[in-house]
Amino acid sequence: LQALSKAKQLIISEETLLVYAPIAHRLGISMLKNKLEDYSFFYLLNDKYKEILDYKKTFQSRLEVELHTFMKSLQLTLDKAGYDESKVLIHKRIKHNYSVHLKTQRKGIGMEEVLDLLAVRILVDKPLDCYTVLGLLHLNYKFIPFRFKDYIAVPKENGYQTIHTTVFYNTAIFEVQIRTREMHK
């Protein structure tokens, strides 16, 4: 898009947001969806994009340290309960820029108020393990009750199954998603 005129950049970016990113999402290719959204966001709302990017750059090292520290604590908690690294897989992420923008717009909040800026996903073998891990999380970390969703017991219409919860650790808030490897696929 860099080599194109501003008008073409805007047209292609808008088309990408409205057509191609949703197709990637529907196909379950979230990494591609996120990239398409962020690229489009860069061209469509560059000032907002830069504002979010600057915020993340300013706090990047702190965010990375908080994620790393939480991951270590979480792994230790799971290890003690018999869920060593061979039984669970933990992924971490910092929310991507367009998603932060959507949340701030939808809820009318600032970036510092986005509760799921930092997140981890825990993959286990069986559905029962999802609930065991949830219990371990809620026993070991302070959780936010109104931020709990059980999409395993009540799947979304498209078949999506995962447990979502939000917990505090030290001074940070983390969204945690718990699902089986099969649900993840």
pLDDT tens digits, residue range 28-46?
Answer: 788 899 999 999 999 999 9
Is the pLDDT confidence value at 115 over 80? Answer: no
pLDDT given for residue 128 in this prediction = 95
Kindly report, residue by residue over 52-106, the tens digit of the pLDDT: 999 888 888 888 999 999 999 999 999 999 988 888 999 998 889 999 999 899 9
Which residues have CB under 8 Å from 161's CB, separation 6+?
151, 152, 155, 179, 183
pLDDT given for residue 156 in this prediction = 86
Predicted confidence band at 10 (pLDDT cuts at 50, 70, 90)? very high
| Residues belonging to the chain | 185
Kindly report, residue by residue over 121-175, the tens digit of the pLDDT: 999 999 999 999 999 999 999 999 988 999 999 998 878 899 999 999 988 899 9
Instruction: Retrieve residue 168's tokens.
Output: 């505090």
Kindly report, residue by residue over 167-183, the tens digit of the pLDDT: 999 888 999 999 999 99
Backbone angles phi, psi at 175, to 5 degrees: -85, 135
CA distances (Å), origin 72, targets 88, 98, 181, 182, 183? 13, 28, 21, 25, 24
Q: Distance (Å, rounded) from C-alpha 132 to C-alpha 45?
A: 43
Is the pLDDT confidence value at 185 over 90? Answer: no
